[in-house]
A = this chain, B = another copy of it.
């Protein structure tokens, strides 16, 4: 069971909405829509993806990382390091 299982349906709904935004972008490009309108839609899709990632990360900290930390030891350190690396990738992407 993953840390986000309780909110799986909510995550899937969110991702399907992002998928719809990307298909909307394809349609806009295909119909030669104005560049600026396409860029506005890209920003919206980026923000939606980020919101999904932040939600998932919070659940990961609250479950997977918290469990490992409660047990302590090398596994706890590894989980914190792994989460920190994922955060760094998000901040930089």
Contact = CB atoms under 8 A, between A and B. Distances in A.
B32 A5 contact: yes
Given A2-B32, A43-B93, A90-B43, A84 B57 contact: yes
Interface in A7-32: 8, 11-12, 15-16, 18-19, 22-23, 25-26, 29-30, 32
A2 B34 CA distance: 6
Nearest to A64: B35
Given A29-B11, A35-B60, A36-B60, A93 B1 contact: no
Contacts of A15: 22, 25-26, 29
A87 B46 CA distance: 14
